[in-house]
Amino acid sequence: MPEPSRRADRRPAELIRRGSVYGGFHGVERVPLAESEPFDDRPTRERLSVDLDTSLFVGAGAGTGKTTSLVGRILSLVCAPGGERVPIGNIAAITFTEKAAAELRIRIASALNARLAELHAAPAAATGPVAAADESAALSAALDGLDGAAISTLHGFAARLLNEHPLEAGLPPSFETLDEVAGRVDFDERWSEFVDEMIDDPANHDWITTLDTLGASFAEMRAVALKFDENSDLLDWPAFDPASVEGGRGITRVNAGELLEGARKLVAVEQHCIDDDDFLLARCPIVHEFVWRLEEAETAHDRLDVLADERLKIPLVGNRGRKDNWPGVDLKTLREKFAALRERVEELVTEVADAAVRQCADALRDFTLRAADERRRAGRLKFHDLLVVCRNLLRSSEHAVEVRNALHERYARLLLDEFHDTDPIQIEIAALIAARPDGPVPAATAEPSAPPVAADWRTLPADPGHLFFVGDPKQSIYRFRRADIRLYDEARYRFGYELGDYAELSVNFRSVKPVVDWVNLTFNGLMRSSRQDPPGTHAQYSPLSAVREPTSTGTAVGALGADAYHTSKMADLRNAEAADVARAVATICAQRWTVGDTDPDTGAEIERPARLDDIVVLIPSRTCLPHLEAALGEAEIPYRLETASFVWSNVAIRDLVVCLQAVADPTDELSTVSALRSAVYGCGDDDLCRHAAAPGNGWDYTHADYREPPAETDGPVTAGLKHIRRLHDLSTTMTPAALLEKLVRDRQVQEQAAAWPRAREAWRHVRYLVDQARAWSDGRHSGLRHFIAWAAEQADARARVSAPVLPELDDDAVRIMTIHASKGLEFPIVILAGTQDTARPKAVSSDAGLDPAGGPPAIRLRAGIETSDYAQWVESEAVADHGERIRRLYVACTRARDHLLVSLYRTEKNPATAKKGEGPPPPYLATSAQLLHEFGFGPTVPDPREDTAQVLHIALTSPWMTKFSPKVKKLPDGFGTFEPDGEPGAGTPATRRSPLPDMAEWDRRRRRAVEASGRPPALSASAVAKLDERRPAATAAVEFRAGLAKDDAESEDETSRRGRYGTAFGSAVHGVLQRLDLRAATTAEQTDQPAASGAAAVSPAADLAALARQQAAAEGVSDKVDEIVGRVRAALAHPTVLAAAAARHWQEIYVGTNVGTAAAGIVVDGYIDLLYEDAAPSGGSGPTTAAADPDLVVLDFKTVFTDDEAVLGDRTEGYRLQGAAYAYGIGRATGRNVSRVEFAYLTPTGTVVHTVDGDKLEEDLAEVVRLAERAAAPAAA
């Protein structure tokens, strides 16, 4: 393989592609670019945490710590001194995904706790004791309020605002958000009704008949309506008027006179031809039939049917026909007449189609907006509805000014993460909230009676420091979710230059230096806009600077398939690429490539040999997935798919869906036979042939022969048909989810998968399909056929499935995922494959391009049925897709921490070759592999590093199209040995299947597995108490069973004393105590004054009865309201509860921890009613101690119906281990000492508190560990 050329000196080289096709069509020259130099951006990072009064727009490259900067600014805001401090409740942090939001919340909590620990360790080191105490109080308040803080996705934030102002937004007080599945069901129901209404409306008859004549279907209109539904805020275009243009543009334009005259003149000259075999003469019969059919047509639609008939299309003649055969005829003129007639027919059909499609678009627009308004009024919003309704609330509603003023004060700081991938509505919402209340926000509207509409966000003022943006346009890869680089640039200019300042982070902490150098070298050229590119095509490239050194073993950056290959078949190219990927994995394992890691004990960075799960294969789409699966399977390399979109293309999932299709439709014989041939029913072709050949047999399972249950004498086909018949009969009464579960259970699909090469992957996929079916069934009660249609849409190659598939983390296997799924992640080793994709224009059916500026949409229902501007829109989309394709490659390459392998598999033929006499071809015609080869591995690219020759081509393969047969001897440490076979890379992991054990050993393992599977993976705290052999005899009494055996249905107590939480009455009391603001409530009880209630808590004494009524009604004990109030007030007046309320405390806090050792332990979890800090620690014992923090006290409320002290004492003995389990868990989770456990018995005559502390608590803690280890012992074995 050719080596890349080396620089003779270390001067910055002019990286110009001499003779490069791609450099030429980019129209740019490569600029001087040296290797990355160490760069210190710490001053910029410090400014992000210090300059809190300036609105900042931060450009943060890949791996530069965007989230860390965001967390640092939030920490500074909540810790700022005096008036600069912003409570956590006044901060909104908005990010892109639910996962990112959850991670951000966790990292904020960690930062707050870390800072709090620093202050406790040295409170007066820098700021003095008073300031330290003040900051400590602010940090504690931030931690207390973190769970309720506005840290979420954009959709979550919009839902939060609408929940705070539902009536102002025109919503019911309690609305629901439909998930994707429920939203699709809602759409389908509305669509069915709309189609009937549309057909019944006489105003639609012309354009519906026109589209039907042209061959369009309602299914294609539905697909366009779905796109409208996802972009309901972009449907504001003027209604189309067919009569607006002179002569009209509708079906009335189809006039036969003009066309007939031209066609008759054309065929009249055929008599002059003297050669019956002449090419032109042979085309005249088509014109004859065209004339005849057009003369026979009676209506405009009949004439349109003739014009659109492909069989009657006027032929292209070009320069055909011999002049000698046409004496006296100007052959050139005759040819021009053929072309003119053909062109006129096409033009007329195009005009009519354009008019009909635009009228259809207006109807679909009205349907979409009406449906959105109905959802709003019904309080059933889709995700996109949340954004639109929230934006309208702030911009144009009757209460817009009032609501915006309130939110401006409520959210004093808005921090927007991943801004490069955001929805355009986000910037509007943020700018409207940040705009000063006294600023010139409203703009005049066209109608005086209409509410004022806020001005464009680009002109709105904003308070200094109110906004903070973090983004990287180079990673903007969600155009299909409406991300727009042009919008990013406009926001950066407005808030980073006009109203604030712009800062940039460029130090990459993720990737090693050779990877960063190569990324800089390659994408500095690829992202340079040319004169051909419209604005917003490419992101402006900012080089990264690396700090990590390369690992000691393995190539940092390498190319697979460095040479172009002589093949015209894409399948051959993808097979070769996949085989090379498999051999690359084998080489990495065999050569023991090392990756960076963190020592769990010291936290230091170390090197270790790579595992299989360190290797991730990133692909742009599913196209190359079958080839990769085949190659990895042949090499016996374990792998797993970690993108949900892959699941729907899996064979096991397809088999189950086709079985459901057979169940749903008895007339679909193809699906029935396919289901029988699948692994689910296991019928071979010989079985099917014998069944078909037998007299009287068929595939209609509704026949009486298949009514009876399967018998032992039935063949596999008959048994399968009987089972399908049984499921068909049940399909009218069972949900799709229940039917699918029965199919999986009856046919033992999970058990069958155990024999498959990748059983765990199959199990995971089947579980995923069942979960999706449950979500579908829970959304609305739709039938099986609707579910199958939805599943078919997910399996479509163009579908974008966003639901994640949880990985099996203990499965050491190569991971395969799409580039989109890898966003925000990092991996030690990345192999970029599937680079044969291009961005060439793709005109697809049921497509729609919407104009954010409010212009008419560009729509295509199917070929030839589209608006006149659709082709131009497709061309512009190809340019935009090309820019995003380059950004996808950038995202993929910057996921690599230590090693990056890039596939350059491409054909020798260049698809981007310019035609003679034309300008340079557009860049989107080149494949990704060709672009990466030219800009990253081309022959003139200098090595960016002097001493470490890291940019190398890897020769991993045997010659092209040669079968690879490695020799493997042993599997050390989970990998195959590397057996050289005359060339590098000739090795592969051996099989992981161990020899079968003998029968006795197998039976012993099976019995142990069965015993372990019967043990629960976790125990509740109350379940731990029931394991205690020391329980008193009173535990057998009904009174005690009502406490620990919470679901005792055999209790003879009255109904109000039984229920899910011990008693329905007790549950109501518990619910009131759970929702109270304890501190305010105890103060109100002591002073007999009502306390103000918060958003989530109700505390005034006057409102206590109302809350009690709510809880009593919920538990079905409405006649017990006065008694509930009495019990709660007695508890609030008890000294123990008063002390807890005065201290720092937490209500209804969850705790879960592993009790016992890692090898012999079990998870114990539960909810603690009240946890508080002990103001006067008693020196009690606990699992851990922390001198710097006060001890903790666990308080558990128990509602009882006796005040007998002896009975209460017995109860305490029974509850001791439950309380100890809580104490152990909270001690392990916090690292703090738990001094005592208190049980507050709410009796009919008052509150009695029993305490367990000292030696008793120490004894109980040890007993909890013993019982947990005993419970887990069989599973551990």
Q: What is 843-906 written as a DSSP string? A: --SSEEE--TTSPPPEEEEETTEE-TTHHHHHHHHHHHHHHHHHHHHHHHHTTEEEEEEEE---
Report yes or no: 819 and 903 within 8 Å, Cβ to Cβ: no
What percentage of the chain carries pLDDT values higher than 70?
79
Condensed to tens digits (0 to 9), the pLDDT of residues 639-654 reads 888 876 677 777 788 8
Quick check: 461 and 499 in contact, CB under 8 A? yes
Nearest alpha-carbon partner for 721 in 710, 736, 733: 710
User: Has residue 102 got a pLDDT over 80?
Assistant: yes
For the segment 941-951, the average pLDDT, to the nearest whole number, is: 37
For position 656, which CATH number holds? 1.10.486.10
Residue 307: inside a domain: no
Inside any domain, residue 714: yes
CATH number for the domain spanning 116: value is: 3.40.50.300
CATH number, domain with residue 1114: 3.90.320.10
| pLDDT one-digit tens code per residue, 327-348 | 888 888 888 888 888 888 888 8
pLDDT at 361: 93
pLDDT in the model for residue 357 = 93
Q: Is the pLDDT of residue 9 over 80?
A: no
Distance CA 350, CA 596 (A): 61
Residues 1184 and 1201: beta-carbon distance below 8 Å: no
Q: Out of 779, 795, 811, pick the residue that ends a domain.
A: 795
pLDDT at residue 939 in the model: 54
The Cα–Cα gap between 1206 and 1037 comes to 14
Mean pLDDT is highest, among 296-310, 788-802, 854-868, for 854-868
For residue range 145-155, what is the model confidence (pLDDT) as tens digits? 988 899 998 88
Predicted confidence at residue 478, as pLDDT, reads 86
- Helix residue spans in 149-243 (DSSP H): 154-164, 180-200, 205-214, 218-230
Q: How many CB atoms lie within 10 A of CB 245?
A: 12
How many domains does the structure of the chain reveal?
3
pLDDT greater than 70 at residue 17? no
Mean pLDDT value of segment 1180-1186: 43
941 lies in a domain?
no
Asked if residue 202 belongs to a domain, the reply is no
What per-residue confidence (pLDDT) applies to 892?
A: 94
Residue 790 clears pLDDT 60, i.e. is over it: yes
Q: Is the pLDDT of residue 942 over 70?
A: no
Element (H, E) at 1197: strand 1192-1199
Domain boundary among 451, 486, 505: 505
Q: Across the chain, what does the average pLDDT equal?
A: 78
Give the end of a domain, one of 446, 477, 505: 505
* pLDDT 10s digits, 710-743: 777 788 988 999 999 999 988 888 888 889 999 9
The pLDDT assigned to 645 comes to 67
Region 497-517: mean pLDDT is 91
**CA-CA distances (angstroms) from residue 567 to 570, 575, 622?**
8, 12, 22
**What average pLDDT score do residues 588-610 get?**
87
Residue 780: both structure tokens together: 């609305």
The residues near 110 (Cβ < 8 Å, ≥ 6 apart) are none
Q: Span 1138-1161, mean pLDDT?
A: 80
Kindly report which listed range (178-182, 802-806, 963-967) carries the lowest average pLDDT score. Answer: 963-967
**What is the percentage of the chain residues whose pLDDT exceeds 90?**
21
108 lies in some domain: yes
Higher model confidence: residue 664 or residue 764? Answer: 664
**pLDDT at site 1043:** 39
If 0-12 CB within 10 Å is exposed, 13-18 middle and 19+ buried, where does residue 56 land?
Answer: buried
Q: What integer is the mean pLDDT of 480-497?
A: 87
Residue 432 domain flag: yes
- Closest Cα partner for 545 from 824, 826, 944? 944
Q: Return the closest-CA partner of residue 837 out of 573, 564, 540.
A: 573
pLDDT at 150: 92
pLDDT > 90? residue 830: yes
Residue-range definition of the domain harbouring residue 1118: 1018-1276
Residue scoring higher pLDDT (1230 or 2): 1230
Residue 733 exposed, middle or buried by CB count within 10 Å (0-12, 13-18, 19+) = exposed
CA distance 747 to 739: 12
What are the φ and ψ backbone dihedral angles of 608, each rounded to 5 degrees?
-145, 160
Of the listed ranges 757-761, 793-797, 1051-1055, the one predicted with least confidence: 1051-1055
pLDDT (tens digit per residue) in 71-88:
999 999 998 877 678 999
Which residues lie below 8 Å from residue 854, measured CB to CB, with a gap of 6+? Answer: 234, 236, 237
* Poorest-pLDDT segment among 503-507, 636-640, 664-668, 1137-1141: 636-640
| pLDDT for position 437 | 65
Q: pLDDT-derived band of residue 468, with 50, 70 and 90 as boundaries?
A: very high
Distance CA 112, CA 101 (A): 17
- Is 860 contained in some domain? no
**Total residues found in the chain within this entry:** 1277
Is residue 1188 in a domain? yes
In which band, very low, low, confident or very high, does the pLDDT at 1095 lie, cut at 50, 70 and 90? very low
How far is the C-alpha of 789 from the C-alpha of 791, rounded, in Å? 5
Lowest mean pLDDT among 665-679, 751-765, 845-859, 941-955: 941-955
The angle formed by the CA atoms of residues 469, 470 and 471, to the nearest 5 degrees, is 120
pLDDT tens digits along 362-396: 999 999 999 999 999 999 999 899 999 999 999 88
CB 404 within 8 A of CB 83: no
Contact 822, 804 (CB under 8 A): no
